[in-house]
Amino acid sequence: MIVYFMCFFLFLVGLYGIVTRRNLIKIVISFTIMEFSVFLFFALIGYVENGKAPILTKNLPENPVFVDPLPQAMVLTAIVIGLATSAMLLAIAIRLYKKYGTFNIREINNLRG
Amino acid sequence: MSNLVPLYVILPLASAFLIPSVGRLVKGFQKALLSLVLLFLTAMTFYIIFSGLDQPIAYAVGGWEAVKDTPIAIYMVLDGLSVVVLLIVNLIGFLATFYSISYIKKYTAENNFYALLSLMIAGMNGVVLTGDMFNLYVFLEIAVIASYALVAFGIEKTELEASFKYQVLGGIASLWILFSIGMLYWKTQTLNMADISQILANDTSDAFMIFTQILLISGFGLKAAMIPFHAWLPDAHSSAPSPISAMLSGVLIKAIGVYAILRLFFNMFALTYEIGMVITVIGTLSMIIGGLLAIFQWDMKRMLAYSSISQMGYVFIGVGMGMIILIRGGETSVAALAIAGGLFHMINHATFKGLLFLNAGAIEHTTGTRNMKMMGGLARTMPITSTTSLGASLAISGIPPFNGFFSKLIIIVAAIQGQFYLLAVLAIVISIVTLVYFMRFQRFAFFNKTTFSRKVKEVPFTMCFSMVVLVILCLALSLLIFPGVREVMLTPAVDVLMETTNYSSTIIGM
């Protein structure tokens, strides 16, 4: 059970980073930490004690124990989506750097109210 | 019929692929393709609506049949509720595309614009159609990633900043949603919404489920920009190019915010009093605070964005009240009236807010400013924009005979019949506040003295066409309230939400 709570703790670490950091790149890194904690959670819920990879072979034991493959497939999809999100965030961060000459969000504040 | 359902996703997705590749070689290909695709999808939606939809149409992707009543395929479900949302997605999408033909000339990279727009529409159609939790997340991400890029399309300082803000907050919301999907899978070992609903029906709500529900409602609430989570909306919606603002405000927050909340909390989870209360309270807060903040805005598109928050509050109040009345075991006719009011206002808001953003785009296109202090006297030089915008302003402030009056009236009547007297009073007060800031907009933009020397003239044909069609829709949608017309579109959608378990039992029984 403790491992699930540590996974949730990692999620909160990412959230804390997004809220408190002032540097655009650090915000992106915090966001990625949060993202990977969710992926880790998915990998955890698919795990079965002493389970094997779910592949049908000829000489299987009597009552085979398999891990759940569905969360793994979901994690793969989610990682690809996460790649797109991170790439988009970094692209915008670099564009912002070109316009403002800084990564500090305190100085990037045209929009107020 | 059911074989046509995947076309809603396939056609926009295919055009998103074809536009950058073929559009480079053939001139005008991108505009023609996307307009035709969306026109076709709109026509198909009308055909489905008028041919009557008594049973939900379900399409199993990949043709996997259910094994012992356990669905294994990803289902695409077209029922009374989703068909209404599909109609507004594709119709407003078509009009925005047609409008863009003239508007987008000032930007470079037209191909990328149309490709991203069609990707966004594919994502929204997918969200509305899907019957699978993880698939919902995938389509939602397709729609929002395209919208992040479209908000930053102008690549000026403000656009980039708004897009970054939108991405960080939207990304957090997506992760909350993904996390709660994981929780649901952990609990139920399935992803199909109908199946989850059947498994959860026997379950009393424990702390685990409450945590999941709170995560889901915060995630989708952030996507719908409800009040504690509204910070990104005014920036993002006002920075995007105007046809995209119309799509974001008119359609995106409904398809991935309101629709998802309705589908999940009415049809998947068992109704609970607490969730109904949460939806009503955040709806009320959004309505009041969004309306009050809109008064102080001088930027035209920012004012419209705040007003979107306020108007979505009405939608949430309608469905939230319906939920509470259903739980309390009150009269079902009153609950149906409240939900009908909410859904009707959602449809109406798509038309008039879309129109207002297109008007704002037209004004920006000719005068080059968004500040209301800098414009004036446009009524003489831009008659079509002025007339359509007056129609939309009257509709959003709830003046008869425009559609906004009837939907607000239904919500207020339902609030009185359901004994939510405070809500009824607040809805009337905020309606007056809405009238105030839209009359201010009319006065400063169209009727004051001209303050700038540049010569302005009416916008080109395609922009005028979209605006005129939308103002006609604003009038025509009032008909939806009358018996005979109501049964075609509004009643089936309300029935889907009223008979909460019907959805899962029909999908499982197929």
Q: What is the CATH number of the domain that holds A89?
A: 1.10.287.3510
Helix (H, G, I), strand (E, B) or coil at B50: helix
Q: How far apart are CA B81 and CA B74, in angstroms?
A: 19
- The whole-angstrom separation of Cα B123 and Cα B36 is 18
A window 35-94, beta carbon within 8 A of B: 35, 38, 41-42, 45, 68, 70-71, 74, 77-78, 81, 84-85, 88-89, 92-93
Q: Within a domain: residue A22?
A: yes
For B21-45, give one letter per residue: b (16+ CB within 10 A) or e. eebeeeeebbbebbbebbbebbebb
Chain segment A46-62, per-residue pLDDT in tens: 888 888 888 888 877 78
Burial B184-200 (b: 16+ CB within 10 A, else e): bbbbbebbbbbbbbbbb
Could B158 and A78 be called an inter-chain contact, meaning their C-beta atoms sit closer than 8 Å?
no
Residues of A in contact with B299 (CB under 8 A): none
Cis peptide before B483 (omega within 30 of 0): no
CB B487 within 8 A of CB B111: no
DSSP string, B386-417: HHHHHHHHHHHHT-TTSHHHHHHHHHHHHHHH
- Note whether A10 contacts B: Cβ–Cβ < 8 A: no
Token pair recorded at residue B351: 């038309």
Q: How far is A111 from chain B (nearest CA, A)?
A: 7
CB-based contact (8 Å) between B149 and chain A? yes
Q: To probe the interface with A, which of B70, B140, B175, B309 has the most A CB atoms within 10 Å?
A: B175
- Per this entry, what is the length of chain A? 113
Cα B373 from Cα B27, distance rounded (Å): 40
Considering the domain boundaries, does residue A56 fall inside one?
Answer: no
Helix or strand holding residue B75 (H, E): strand B74-78
Is the CB of residue A17 less than 8 Å away from at least one CB of chain B? no
Per CB-CB distance under 8 Å, the chain A contacts of B178 are 38, 78
Using CA atoms, how far residue B180 sits from B218, B219, B270, in Å, is: 11, 9, 16
| CA-based nearest residue in chain B for residue A39 | B179
Query: Which residues are B299's β-sheet partners?
Result: B371
CB neighbour class for B7 (10 Å; exposed up to 12, middle 13-18, buried from 19): middle
Name the domain count of chain A.
1
Q: What is the 3-state secondary structure (H, E, C) of B423-450?
A: HHHHHHHHHHHHHHHHHHHHHHHHHCCC
Give CA–CA dist B280/B258, Å, rounded. 13
Residue B396 near residue B352, CB atoms below 8 Å: yes
Q: What pLDDT, on the 0 to 100 scale, is given for residue B204?
A: 64
Distance from CA of A35 to the nearest CA of B (A): 7
Q: Using CB atoms, which residue from B137, B138, B167 is nearest to A88?
A: B167
Nearest to B185 among A71, A85, A89 (CB): A71
Q: Residue B214 half-sphere exposure, CB side, CA atoms within 13 Å?
A: 8
Q: In chain B, which residues have their Cβ closer than 8 Å to the Cβ of A70?
A: 185, 191
Check B157 against A18: CB less than 8 A apart. Answer: no
State the Cα–Cα distance between residues A85 and A68, nearest whole angstrom: 27
| Chain A residue nearest residue B158, CA to CA | A110
For A29, A78, B191, B228, B285, the CA distances from B185, given in Å and listed in that order, are: 27, 15, 6, 28, 32
CA distance B424 to B411: 8
Output A93-99 pairs: Cβ under 8 A, ≥24 positions apart.
Answer: A93/A24, A93/A25, A93/A28, A93/B164, A95/B152, A95/B155, A95/B160, A96/A24, A96/B160, A96/B161, A96/B164, A97/A24, A99/B156, A99/B157, A99/B160
- Spell out which residues of chain A touch residue B162, defining contact as CB-CB under 8 Å: 111
Burial label for B170, CB within 10 Å (0-12, 13-18, 19+), is buried
- ipTM value: 0.94
HSE-CB at B287 with a 13 A cutoff on CA atoms is 26
A:B CB pairs within 8 Å: 83
Which of B 219-278 lie inside 8 A of A, CB atoms? Answer: 235, 239
Read out DSSP for B130-143? Answer: B-BHHHHHHHHHHH
Query: Exposed, middle or buried: residue B163 (CB in 10 Å: 0-12, 13-18, 19+)?
Result: buried
Tokens coding B492: 């089936």
Show pLDDT as tens, one digit a residue, over chain B (510 residues).
Answer: 778 899 999 999 999 999 999 988 988 888 999 999 999 999 999 999 988 777 888 888 888 888 887 888 899 999 889 999 999 999 999 999 999 998 888 888 889 999 999 999 999 999 999 989 999 999 999 999 999 999 999 888 889 999 999 999 999 999 999 999 999 999 888 999 998 998 888 776 688 888 999 999 999 999 998 888 888 999 999 889 999 999 999 999 999 999 999 999 999 888 888 899 999 999 999 999 999 999 988 889 999 999 999 999 999 999 999 999 999 888 889 999 999 999 999 999 999 999 999 999 998 888 888 888 888 778 888 889 999 999 999 999 988 889 999 999 999 999 999 999 999 999 999 999 999 999 999 988 888 777 666 667 778 888 999 999 999 999 999 888 888 888 888 888 898 888 888 888 888 877
- B72/A contact by beta carbon, under 8 A: no
Nearest-Cα distance to chain B for A85, in Å, is 7
- From CA A32, how far away is CA A85, in angstroms rounded? 9
pLDDT score for A59: 79
Per the DSSP assignment, residues forming a β-bridge with B74 are: B61
Helix (H, G, I), strand (E, B) or coil at B76: strand
Query: Which of A8, A38, A66, A92 to mutate to probe the B interface, most B CBs <10 Å?
Result: A92
Whose structure tokens read 């955040």? B282
Q: From the CA of B242, how many Å to the nearest CA of chain A?
A: 18
Q: Enumerate the H helices of chain A as residue ranges.
A: 2-20, 24-45, 69-100
Gap between the Cα atoms of B19 and B21, Å rounded: 6
Q: How far apart are the first and last CA of chain B?
A: 15
- A99 to B160: CB separation less than 8 angstroms, yes or no: yes
Domain extent for A76: 2-50+66-100
Does residue A107 lie in a domain region? no
pLDDT-derived band at A113, boundaries 50, 70, 90: very low
Q: In this structure, is residue A32 part of a structural domain?
A: yes
CB of B113 closer than 8 Å to CB of B153: yes
DSSP B68: T
**Residue B501, min C-alpha distance to chain A (Å):** 27
CA distance B181 to B215: 10
Per-residue pLDDT tens digits for A60-108: 778 888 888 899 999 999 999 999 999 999 999 999 999 988 888 888 8
Domain that holds residue B464: 2-509
Count structural domains, chain B: 1
CA-nearest residue to A95 within chain B is B160
Q: Residue A77: closest CA among chain B residues belongs to which residue? A: B138
A100 inside 8 A of chain B by CB: yes
Q: Identify whether the C-beta of residue B241 lies closer than 8 Å to the C-beta of residue B361.
A: yes
Nearest-by-CA chain A residue for B134:
A74
Domain-located, residue A105 = no
Sequence-ordered alpha helix ranges (H) in B51-79: none
Q: Which helix (H) or strand (E) holds B59?
A: strand B57-61
Residues whose CB is less than 8 angstroms from the CB of residue B492 and which lie 6 or more positions away in sequence, other chains included: B53, B79, B80, B81, B83
DSSP label at residue B52? -
Cβ–Cβ of B182/A38 closer than 8 Å?
yes
Q: How far apart are CA B395 and CA B402, in angstroms?
A: 5
- Cβ-defined contact of A41 to B185 (cutoff 8 Å): no
- Of the candidates A34, A68, A111, which has its C-beta nearest B235's C-beta? A111
